[in-house]
Amino acid sequence: MIMKLVIALITASFAAGEPQAICPNQTIEAVEGENVDLQCYLDPWANVENYAVDWKRLDLNKVVYSYRHRQENHQAQMDQYRGRASLNHEDLSRGIMTLHISSVQLSDSGPYRCFVSKLMTRCNTTLIVKTKRDGSTTAGPPVDDVTVPNDHDAAKMKTVWVASVCGVAAFAAAAAAAAVLVKLCVCKKTAKGLKGQEEEMMPDNYEMENLRT
């Protein structure tokens, strides 16, 4: 019975053209430290300066901002949002109830609801706060890019390195062989020269025979 009555009231309000709360953005993303506006307005617009307006966190079932008697109601507000959440009271005369949150934190992420109790109208929006590393505002000095070679480049570098080592080894072996050949030639020439000197110093057989006689 109660559900039927609620449905009937809602249907009647639509039929009478009662103002409805509109949240144009279902999801809003921000980087921690930024200021964020959660938009909400009435369509058609109506002056809500004398109405009660609440913004709540649906997941926590707690009040983020409360407007009562043409002023902010701090008693119902979460400590987390004190001094950070606000409404522009001048916009209320035009049916604009946009919630402003300064310096958003990761804990501010969640579903929010804008509610005007007298008009029985509401709308929801979700705030997603990202860390600075997830966004494009990573702090700190720039880091030089380091190019890591892929497998093909690594194999190519390895092949070049092996060829270079083999070339150096072959050159060293050739140089050593050439040094040995030069040394052998020098030794052979030296030996031949010594043999010639011995032959020159040795007397022939005729002279030896005369010496014996």
What are the residue ranges spanned by the domains of the chain?
16-130, 157-200
Could you name the CATH architecture of 16-130? Sandwich (2.60)
Look at residue 200 and tell me whether its pLDDT is greater than 80.
no
181 or 183: which leads in pLDDT: 183
pTM of the predicted model as reported, rounded to 2 decimal places: 0.57
Cα dihedral 73/79/80/81 (nearest 10): 20
- Given a cut of 70, is residue 4 above it in pLDDT? no
Report the alpha-carbon distance of residue 12 to residue 28 in Å, rounded: 32
Handedness of CA 127, 129, 130, 132 (dihedral sign): positive
- Cα(101)–Cα(75) distance, integer angstroms: 18
* Least reliable range by pLDDT among 8-17, 33-42, 77-86, 97-106: 8-17
CA distance linking residue 112 with residue 115, whole number of Å = 10
Lowest mean pLDDT among 79-88, 136-145, 157-166, 174-183: 136-145
126-173 pLDDT, tens digit each: 999 999 875 454 333 333 443 434 445 545 555 544 455 445 455 555
Q: Mean pLDDT over residues 11-31, rounded? A: 82
Structure tokens belonging to residue 204: 């022939």
Residue 193: both structure tokens together = 């020269």
Judge whether residue 56 has pLDDT over 90: yes
